[in-house]
Amino acid sequence: MPIKVRLLRYQFPDGRSKDWAYPTPVMSDAQNFTVYFGRTGSTLRQRDTPASACRNGSVFAEAPQRIREKRAKGYRELGEYWLADNHRDLRPVTPAPAGPEPMIHSASTPTPPAIGPALYWRLRIQDRADEAALENVGQTVARQLETVGWRVTNHSAGESMFHGFWPPVVSGATHGRVELLPGYEPVIAFLLLVARRFTGVRVANEDQQVITDWPQELPVSDQILETLGLKPVSTERLLADMAGEAWFY
């Protein structure tokens, strides 16, 4: 069966590229950290690192460290893909309701655009008090999202919600990106609402502007945005509210 992996790609100046990927999600009790690597379009080789040889003896802690190393070398994250049994054909994961296993593109299928519009989050935690505050805020926001039928995690009772939604956070990562694609609405709403309540989280757009309202690039019903308090103030409404008032600059 196809394997869901997180794919990173390095582009050479001459147009060639090479891939590096690992199965996702990474389970904290996994016995090996598995990676697939090789020239783009070729059969990717597999390498397993025992948990005993991973950072802090944990596969869960090894993943973010490897990603940081790849980024430092110039790799770019392409998101989640399905890797076929032949370890060669790749297809982007399309968020959708549970159904038949997705089809796999053949090696001759044109590669989709690597990077699309996205939001970028950054986290700063000073101490354990911050960790506890972030956890509380996250749980509050998760319950708020459930009022519109959105869920961001399937964490069990007593387990940190970030093991289900933000695995890198609990293992040291301080930043990341979420693509503005259908299916990621709950994740984006979660980030924005957490950022409003916890000063250690910031969310920015492609222009590096900090945002707290819903991005216009990803349409969502006004009713949902109003319920969550994420609907941007329209220019027309702002001008109407200003009518008859004196403004000083």
| Residue 39 CB neighbour total at 10 angstroms | 12
Instruction: Give the residue carrying structure tokens 């503005």.
Output: 180
Residues 101-139: tens digit of each pLDDT? 333 333 333 333 344 577 888 888 888 888 888 888 888
| CA distances for 164 relative to 62, 152, 167, 170, 241, angstroms | 17, 8, 6, 10, 42
Alpha carbon distance 71, 144 (integer Å): 34
The CATH superfamily holding the domain 3-92 is WGR domain (2.20.140.10)
Element holding 71 (H helix, E strand): helix 59-72
Q: Which two tokens stand for residue 30?
A: 């996994």
* Beta partners for residue 80, in sequence order: 6
- pLDDT (tens place) for every residue of the chain, 249 residues total: 889 999 999 988 778 899 999 998 877 677 899 999 999 989 999 999 998 888 878 887 788 888 888 888 888 888 889 999 999 999 998 644 444 433 333 333 333 334 457 788 888 888 888 888 888 888 898 889 989 988 765 443 334 444 444 534 444 456 777 778 777 788 889 989 999 999 988 898 877 789 989 998 888 888 999 999 998 765 454 445 444 444 332
First vs last C-alpha separation in the chain: 62
Closest to 34 (Cα-Cα) out of 52, 51, 47 = 47
Cα 163–Cα 217–Cα 187 angle in degrees, nearest 5: 10
pTM above 0.85, yes or no: no
Residues 87-104: tens digit of each pLDDT? 999 999 864 444 443 333
Going from N- to C-terminal start, the domains of the chain cover 3-92, 118-236
Residue type, 237: R
Phi, psi of 156 (to 5 degrees): -85, 165
